[in-house]
Amino acid sequence: MAKKASRKASANTGRGGEPHQNVSGDEQYLTTNQGVPIADNQNTLTAGPRGPQLLEDFIMREKITRFDHERIPERVVHARGYAAHGYFETYDCHSNLTKAAFLQDPKVRTPVFCRFSTVAGSKGSPDTARDVRGFAVKFYTTEGNYDLVGNNMPVFFIQDAIKFPDLIHSVKPAPDRDFPQAQSAHDTFWDFVSLSPESMHMLMWVMSDRAIPRSFRMMEGFGIHTFRMINAKGKVTFVKFHWRPKLGTFSLIWDEAVKISGADPDFHRRDLWQAIASDDYPEWELSVQTFTEAQAAKFDFDVLDPTKLVPEELVPLTPLGRMVLDRNVDNFFAETEQVAFCPSHVVPGIDFSNDPLLQGRLFSYLDTQLSRLGSPNFHQIPINQPRCTVANFQRDGQMQMDIPAGRVANDPNSLDSGVPRESHEHGFQSIAVEESGQKLRMRPESFADHYTQARMFWISMTEPEQRHIVGGFAFELGKCHEPKIRRRMLGHLKIIDGKLARQVATKLGMNESDADPIKPAVKVGECRPSSPLSQYAAPPESLSGKKIGLLTTDGVEAKLYNALLKAAKSEKATLEVIAPTIGSIATSAGKEVSPDHFVTGAPSVLFDTIVIAPAAQHADKLTSMAAAVDWLRDAFAHLKIIAFTEPATPIFELAGMAMDADEGLVNLSEQTVNEYVAAARSFRIWEREPLVR
Q: Rounded to an integer, what distance in angstroms lies between the CA atom of residue 75 and that of residue 368?
A: 8
Q: Rounded to an integer, what distance in angstroms lies between the CA atom of residue 605 and that of residue 363?
A: 42
Among 278, 283, 266, 281, smallest CA distance to 219 is for 283
* 526: DSSP letter: P
Q: How far is CA 475 from the centre of its chain?
A: 20
The answer for residues whose C-beta is within 8 angstroms of residue 359's C-beta and 6 or more apart is 44, 52, 53, 161, 352
Catalytic residue among 43, 151, 354, 384: 151
Strand-pair partners of 161: none
The DSSP string of 33-99 is: TT-PBPS-SSS-EEESTTSPBPTT-HHHHHHHHHHHTSSSSS-SSS-SEEEEEEEEEESS--TTT--
Query: For residues 520 and 605, is the Cβ–Cβ distance under 8 A?
Result: no
Whether 78 is catalytic: yes
Catalytic residue among 20, 43, 78, 85: 78
Q: Rounded to an integer, what distance in angstroms lies between the CA atom of residue 38 and that of residue 30?
A: 6
- Per DSSP, the three-state class of 685 is coil
The DSSP string of 529-570 is: --GGG-SSSSPP---TT-EEEEE--TTB-HHHHHHHHHHHHH
Please state, in angstroms and as integers, the Cα–Cα distance from residue 112 to each residue in 119, 145, 257, following that order.
22, 9, 30
Q: Is the dihedral of CA 651, 654, 655, 656 positive or negative?
A: positive
Strand-pair partners of 550: 577, 611
Pairing mode, strands 642-644 and 609-612: parallel
Whether 151 is catalytic: yes
The answer for residues whose C-beta is within 8 angstroms of residue 210's C-beta and 6 or more apart is 152, 153, 251, 535
Residues acting as catalytic residues: 78, 151
